[in-house]
Structure 1
Amino acid sequence: MHIVIIGVGGVGGYFGGKISNSNQKVTLIARGKHLEAIQKKGLQVKSINGDFITHPFLATDRIDIVEKADLVLICTKSWQVPEAAELVKPILKEDTIVIPLQNGADNAEKVSTVLGVKHVLGGLCRIYSKIEAPGVISHFGHQPDVVFGELDKSKTNRLQKVKEVFDQAGFNNSISGDIEVDIWSKFMFITTVSGLGALTRVTIGEMYENKGTRHVLEQTATEIYKVGIAKGVSLPEDIVDRIMTFIGKQPYESTASMQRDIMEGRPSELDNFNGFIVKEGIKAEVLTPVNTFIHSCLQPMEAKARI
């Protein structure tokens, strides 16, 4: 199979690197100094599970020279997904599989709008990773895993084909029976810690151990749960408690990528996280005062970063 990775940041760099390092045919779509470093020296991955350097089949910023793909992993930020999906069009075959792996609740829907639902699987990943330097990915927390599944909950042969790719790469992965629930569960976690983390500018451990901020985390998650239920997502009744327990088990010094982006003055996924809940809450007539407060407070910094 030919696997194409769109976006070679912390997520695409790690998982794309692992697939490439298992002697599978991988093309990395990157840009700038990061791309130049990969082309010259290969992609270096520093990982708590062991470091490696891999030389992919191709690393480029030109989609016009890329061979047709069997599997595409979109690993950009959530606000870049529509543009990334457009980029995929020239390399589609009739049976190309496309999986968005970034955080966010509606990425599969965005990709389906551009490419057609028949190409798309829902997906998510769990990992703490980032670009450390051009050509260098740092995986510094969490045992990486990918969860994926058909949007209509069906069991298909192509799911097994994807699993074979991931199994050969050597990272944990699983086929979901209800990928929408899994996506929203991950979304609840990442949105809850990202927004408040960006506002307080402290670590996940510091937020969780403080009684006041822990209560705000729980309120944020509860609002997300209510919006999800209103949208017809079959979230379990105890999901907020489970997410809070999960937050409490995170590495004390960890922070979310959205928080780091905002603190460093970069465009972030604010509108795709807390902003998404505010917008969908209005549509569903569900009150979201905590998410609204967090989104409103962070919006001036987000606007400044996009000038």
Structure 2
Amino acid sequence: MKIAVIGTGGVGGYFGAKLAQAGNDVTFIARGQHLEAIRSNGLLVKSVNGDMHIPNAQVSDTITDITNADLVLTAVKAWQIKDIRNDIKQIIHEKSIVLPLQNGVMAADELAEVIPEKQVMGGLCRIFSLIEAPGVINHVGFKPEIVFGERNGVQTPEMEVLSQLFDNAGIACKASRDIEADVWKKFIFICTSALLAVTKTSYGELRELKETRQMMIALLNEIYAVSQKKGVKIKPDFIDKTIAVIDAVAYESTSSLTRDVWEGKPSEIDYQNGTVVKLAEKYGVDVPVNRFVYDCILPMELKARGKFNRQTS
């Protein structure tokens, strides 16, 4: 299969390497030193499950260099989807599948505003990984998995094609009958990332201290309340299960949003807690912890994007 991996970070680098290793025709989109390192030395993935090296990885910095992709995996930051969707439209054919693996709950909708809706699946992935150095991805934990499904809940032949593709590449996968619920379940979990950023804690530290643990639980319950107002089908015991997952995460673990905020980089805050705040206003739900977290990070986000209004006397 001809596959375009748009964004060769921790997510795209890992899953793209698995697909390339299985013999698929994979082209990676990367930038800067990362691009040059992959061109020179190939793509190296260090993993707790075994390292991979794609010595002659096909890589470019221009999406439209790719033609007739059968599958497009979007693995850029959530806020970059609007910037790339028109280019993606140019590289697909009428039977192509576009599968977003972004955090948040907006990616598929934003893609489908430009790309034919029937070609955009809902999707998510689970993995802890990051760019360790140019040309090097480090998968540090969590069993990697891709979950996907048609947004209308219908089982289609395209879902079977993806299941076979991922199975052949040794990628754990799930063909979902309710991808909206699965995306929201991940969304609820990842929105703790901003709380880590504000409190300057790891997951272990956050859950250990009584005060921050209470904030974490309140934040999760607020998002669950929003999901129920929206009509997402998630069972009431999901929050307890999410807390159990957080309690089992490696003590020093953080998240990409957390690290982006700490490092003064643009983050996905508008697509995580910012989305919670907007939807809460729409559905009339009170979300004080999510609003506090979002409001605390907003000035840092504006500075990172060069949009902070400075007044001079």
TM-score using structure 2 length: 0.96
Q: Contact 1:86–1:114 (CA<8 Å) still a contact in 2?
A: yes
Counterpart residue number, 1:259? 258
Deviations 1:12-59 (A, max 9, x none): 000011111111110111111111111111101011111121145621
Aligned to 2:175: 175
Matches within 5 A, 1:104-253: 104-191=104-191, 193-253=192-252
Determine if the alignment matches structure 1 residue 273 to structure 2 residue 282: no
Give the aligned CA root-mean-square deviation in angstroms. Answer: 1.0
Give 1:48-67 correspondences, 5 Å limit. Answer: 48-55=48-55, 58-67=58-67
Partner residue, 1:14: 14
How many residue pairs get aligned? The number is 306
Instruction: Tell me if the contact between 1:26 and 1:56 (Cα under 8 Å) persists in the aligned partners.
Output: no
Alignment of 1:40 onto 2:40: yes
Letter in 2 for 1:135: G
> Partners in 1 of 2:118 and 2:251 — Cα distance?
41
TM-score by length of 1: 0.97
Give 1:97's aligned residue.
97
Separation in 1 of the partners of 2:253 and 2:58?
33
Task: Assess if the C-alpha contact under 8 Å between 1:20 and 1:56 holds in 2.
Answer: no
- Secondary structure of the 1:70 match is strand
Letter in 2 for 1:122: G
Say which SS state the counterpart of residue 40 (structure 1) adopts.
Answer: helix
Q: Does 165-174 or 176-185 show the bigger shift?
A: 165-174
Q: Within 2, Cα distance between the matches of 1:195 and 1:278?
A: 13
How far 1:87 sits from its partner (Å)? 2.0
8 Å Cα contact 1:42-1:53 kept in structure 2? yes
Please state whether the residue corresponding to 2:95 is helix, strand or coil: coil
| CA displacement, residues 214-265 of structure 1 (integer Å, 9 cap, x when unaligned) | 1111110111111111111111111111111111111111001100000011
8 Å contact kept, 1:153–1:179:
yes
Q: Distance in 2 between matches of 1:152 and 1:284?
A: 22
**SS in structure 2 of the partner of residue 11 of structure 1:** helix
Is 47-56 or 94-103 further displaced after alignment?
Answer: 47-56
Q: Where does residue 304 of structure 1 map in the other structure?
A: 303
CA contact (8 A) 1:125 1:144 kept: yes
Alpha-carbon spacing, 1:275–1:206, altered in 2? closer, same or farther (3 Å): same
8 Å Cα contact 1:219-1:290 kept in structure 2: yes
Identity %: 46
Where does structure 1 lack aligned partners over 5 or more consecutive residues? none
Secondary structure at 2:94 match in 1: coil
CA contact (8 A) 2:181 2:232 kept: yes
Runs ≥4 in structure 1, deviation > 2 angstroms?
55-58, 62-65
Q: Secondary structure at the match of 1:208?
A: helix
Q: Deviations over 1:151-205 (max 9, x none)?
A: 11111111011111111211211111111101000000001x2011000111001
Distance (Å, rounded) in 2 between the aligned partners of 1:234 and 1:14: 30
The one-letter code of the counterpart of 2:142 is H
Letter in 1 for 2:287: T
Aligned-partner Cα distance in 2 for 1:266–1:290: 23
Contact 2:64 2:88 in 1 (8 A): no
Distance 1:234 1:50 in 2: 37
